[in-house]
Structure 1
Amino acid sequence: MGTAARPAFDTEALRRGIEGRDAGTLLSLYADDADLRVVDRNSQPSRPTVMHGRERIGEMLNDVCGRDMTHRLEQCVVQGDHVAFTESCEYPDGTKVLSNSMMSLKNGRIADQTMVQAWDE
């Protein structure tokens, strides 16, 4: 008797969504009740921005994907039910953004994500 394979995380969809600025593709990777925590200069570790659920996360993804900037998936590592990736972005004026994310998966979809990001100032 074999064991049931757990659903795999779609790293190519992650790349297409990030590099194609496609919020819909990115949102499809999240579980309905997912949580996303963002830590940056304005949302420090003791008070991160927390978004709960696909609707709220989708609002953020639509905003980010709608900006005139380039996005690139630098690295992505999947190990069991955990994914880590680095994303680099650049605005037309040369301002750069770098983010690292660590995610936990449930049935192959993102259940929990913590993103730490920094901008040029």
Structure 2
Amino acid sequence: MGTATGSTFDIETLRRGIEGDTGNNLLSLYADDAEIRIIDHNAQPSHPKIVRGRGEIAEMLDEVYSRDMTHHLEECVIEGTHAAFTESCEYADGTKVLSESMITLRDGKIGEQILIQAWDEG
């Protein structure tokens, strides 16, 4: 299934948000009270980084999209009020980042996201 029932959230909308030049289009997909739980080398599962609300999400996206890197939506599956997707990124120096996300949709907007990411080191 490609679209969450009764919403405008779909794979192409997510692709445009992720692959855009700024985080603004991606930010528009989040509910006002959305929460992102980030798990990676620095924020491990027992102490994830939590980003709450569109204000904090906007700050995070502004910082990420200010970097010299590309973003690509690899895969996405949407089923009802849930979606999962893979995003790959690459810095200008060739360093690669891969992330997996599971999201919960509320009224066509991202309400919750669990993001697990890894990147090249050394």
- Give the TM-score range, shorter chain: over 0.9
Deviation sequence 1:46-103 (CA, Å, 0-9, x none): 0000011000011101111111001110001100000100000011111000000000
Alignment of 1:21-36 (within 5 A): 21-36=21-36
What residue is the counterpart of 1:45 in the other structure?
A: 45
What residue is the counterpart of 1:68 in the other structure?
A: 68
Contact persistence 2:29–2:110 (CA under 8 A): yes
| 2-structure distance, mates of 1:101, 1:51 | 14
Alignment of 1:89-108 (within 5 A): 89-108=89-108
Contact persistence 1:16–1:22 (CA under 8 A): no
Amino acid at match of 1:30: Y
Moved more, 15-24 or 27-36: 15-24
What residue is the counterpart of 1:117 in the other structure?
A: 117
Contact persistence 2:10–2:78 (CA under 8 A): no
The alignment's TM-score, normalised by the length of structure 2, stands at 0.92
Deviation (angstroms), 1:8 = 3.8
| 2-structure distance, mates of 1:24, 1:8 | 17
The alignment's TM-score, normalised by the length of structure 1, stands at 0.92
| 2-structure distance, mates of 1:114, 1:44 | 12
For 1:100, what is the secondary structure of its paired residue? strand
Structure 2 regions of 5+ residues with no counterpart?
none
Amino acid at match of 1:32: D
For 2:34, what is the secondary structure of its paired residue? strand
Moved more, 37-46 or 58-67: 58-67
Q: Does 1:58 align with 2:58?
A: yes
Once superposed, what is the RMSD of the aligned Cα atoms? 1.0
